Structure 1
């Protein structure tokens, strides 16, 4: 089967070189489209079918991980980058492979063979199911520090204006997303909005107490204590049969 591919890289020469390499190794890949930024790539992915995406990481605007984080459905990805420090995050993002530039013919050939033989290229229904794996992780960037973490490892989110504080076991980064934007991406079976200011991971609660005002207070694994609104206290009681 000839794989329909998208190349996402802000450097025109890098895109040209990758297409040359694909031709040189006689890969069974047809490059349907190219994009030089994440916005253009997202528009293409949401409106066309691709079996494979070759994705750069460092680009103007949103980087490659942020693009994946904003997609509801994404084809299998092979990262192509000049930076080696993102390898772990790439594999946590379920990438097929992580190719360092300049890309070697043998590595490129092996990555494409892996995509074709390891069940990455699947039927449309299975693609959607696999894409949901991306929703199990979130890309977090605070200044120059980046994390790509499982949602199950997050403890809580707190609103700080147009920003959001992410509470993890060993860090509390501030990200440029509102609580409402995050809520749309979270599984309501696991995450619960306790007030206008906070969303908590129900699996990270260590104790629940009743306040003098008859609202609920939760203590989380990291020691964070948060008070629920009166309405959400009642909703929590109903949800948890509390």
Structure 2
């Protein structure tokens, strides 16, 4: 397993590296002193996990996660502050480890990581490379159950998918049911010619776009037909969006 340590304190990075030497199957392949450096490293190296400090100069760990729309590995927060624990799990962090880090507590995190990665491999063995036959077409019908309500809906009727932690909210007609699935897992099954990942929280049906406007920091904002939802396309994804829809 490959790891990147993101912490503005060099001594803290060195101490965590020393502790991780007790786990030969984990290799620290990079270090970053801030989130700007971290983003470039993650895109280049695609680690399995990042050990992320919260309080850093510039963006905090939470602020960076909210904005980041690139490849995201498992996240283990390492911090001296215990008041952020609830928020950490709201953003789907794998674990939250307090400094000074004890070897026994780190061992628990490593065990969680091993279990999580093993489950991913079993559940999504095709995740590394998804070939077209895995995609559901826009004409395929899916069964959706939310509480006591059930729907059998064609995918071309779904205009928007929104991440809600471990759930995804599907928007079609006047309905907004929740399904127990991550947005990443859903993205793996959807046809990329029809469904586009606008940002970390949203996938949009390209056929429902009604209006496109320039937005902040080089991004775009699209308005969807139906209920008029306005969805921001991040700056990074805007480049892909323009390439996808250009002649």
TM-score with structure 2 setting the length: 0.52
Match of residue 136 from structure 1: 163
Listed one character per residue, the Cα deviations across residues 164-188 of structure 1 (whole Å, up to 9, x for unaligned) are: xxxxxxxxxxxxxxxxxxx942433
* Distance in 1 (alpha carbons) for counterparts of 2:42 and 2:90: 21
Match of residue 57 from structure 2: 60
Match of residue 51 from structure 1: 48
* Distance in 2 (alpha carbons) for counterparts of 1:36 and 1:77: 16
1:187 to 203, 211, 214: 203
* Distance in 2 (alpha carbons) for counterparts of 1:151 and 1:61: 31
How many residue pairs match? The answer is: 160
How far off its partner does 1:89 sit? 1.6
How far off its partner does 1:77 sit? 1.0
Gaps of at least 5 residues in structure 1 are: 130-134, 138-147, 153-182, 206-217, 221-242
Runs of 4+ aligned residues of structure 1 deviating over 4 Å after TM superposition are 120-125, 191-203
Q: Tell me if the contact between 1:79 and 1:97 (Cα under 8 Å) persists in the aligned partners.
A: yes
* Distance in 2 (alpha carbons) for counterparts of 1:33 and 1:42: 11
Higher radius of gyration, 1 or 2: 1
How far off its partner does 1:68 sit? 2.0
Q: Tell me if the contact between 1:75 and 1:127 (Cα under 8 Å) persists in the aligned partners.
A: no
Match of residue 69 from structure 2: 71
How far off its partner does 1:27 sit? 4.6
Match of residue 18 from structure 1: 16
Match of residue 95 from structure 2: 97
How far off its partner does 1:199 sit? 8.0
TM-score with structure 1 setting the length: 0.53
* Distance in 1 (alpha carbons) for counterparts of 2:118 and 2:224: 31
Match of residue 116 from structure 1: 114
1:81 to 79, 82, 94: 79
Match of residue 142 from structure 2: none
Match of residue 165 from structure 1: none
